[in-house]
Amino acid sequence: MDAAPVIELRDVGRRYGERWALRDVSVTVEAGATLVVFGPNGAGKSTLLRVLATLLRPHGGEVRVLGEELPRRDWAVRGRVGLLAHDALLYRDLSARENLRFHARLHRLGEERVEQLLVQTRLTGRADDPVRTLSRGLLQRVAVCRAILHDPPLLLLDEPRANLDPAATELIEPLIGRASGRTRVITSHDPAGGLAEADLALGLRDGRPALLAPATEVDVTAVEALYQ
């Protein structure tokens, strides 16, 4: 029997006060697939990720993530999702190591997992410095470690390569790239790069879907039109 989709959205909406940030969003993402979400600032990309991460409740439609209905069973999903947001979601006065140890305890993981990731992302030399003293690139590496610490089957990645130079990007690719084997939802402002690593493309404009198709069938100019 075929595995159930990891994400199923049917006419999903989310508003802030009277303003709809998302409206009529329907999309299905199969296990192991990558959905890339395009759209200008304010189009609803980050709101969509937060709904999938159980941080925001939808105000309309149906949401199923990892086979669970949201928000009714959001507690069953939270520990199985990795979120990399614009906000690093780290305690700024704690060190990278302390932050990761804290999250490891939440997931009942040992410190060996923390050390493994610090080595893999070449952070050991700055691991005991408060994260507020780290550059944006180093901070992004710590945030990646936090997002995948518990080995989640679903990754929600808000412009994951922001602030990373090519060498740092290469370091994190095994963790969050296609080779990780995880189901991924990625927001991007890079039409060519986003399409190249995705299976499915969703374009949002003013919170509504303006484009939805297999990534191989989407022309870069169609994505660029979303920003015009």
The DSSP bridge partners found for residue 34 are 184
Q: Does a structural domain hold residue 44?
A: yes
Q: Does a structural domain hold residue 130?
A: yes
Work out how many domains the chain is built from and give that number: 1
Q: Does a structural domain hold residue 1?
A: no
The predicted structure's pLDDT at residue 1: 46
- Rama region for 110: left / alpha / beta (φ>0; ψ in -120 to 50; rest): beta
Strands 68-70 and 60-65 come out as: antiparallel
Query: Taking Cα atoms as reference points, which of 165, 141, 152 lies closest to residue 53?
Result: 152
Q: Does a structural domain hold residue 109?
A: yes
Only one residue has tokens 């939440």, namely 106
Q: Does a structural domain hold residue 153?
A: yes
* Cα separation, 151 vs 81, whole angstroms: 9
Q: Does a structural domain hold residue 55?
A: yes
The predicted structure's pLDDT at residue 118: 97
Range of 56's domain?
Answer: 7-227
Question: pTM above 0.75?
Answer: yes
The DSSP bridge partners found for residue 35 are 185, 200
Q: Does a structural domain hold residue 2?
A: no
* Tens place of pLDDT per residue across the chain (228 aa): 457 899 999 999 999 999 999 999 999 999 999 999 999 999 999 999 999 999 999 999 999 999 999 999 999 999 999 999 988 899 999 999 999 999 999 999 999 999 999 999 999 999 999 999 999 999 999 999 999 999 999 999 999 998 899 999 999 999 999 989 999 999 999 999 999 999 999 999 999 999 999 999 999 999 999 998
Q: Which two tokens stand for residue 67?
A: 């086979």
Query: Taking Cα atoms as reference points, which of 69, 9, 72 lies closest to residue 44?
Result: 9
Q: Does a structural domain hold residue 192?
A: yes
Specify the CATH number for the domain of residue 57: 3.40.50.300
User: Around Cβ 205, how many Cβ atoms within 10 Å?
Assistant: 18
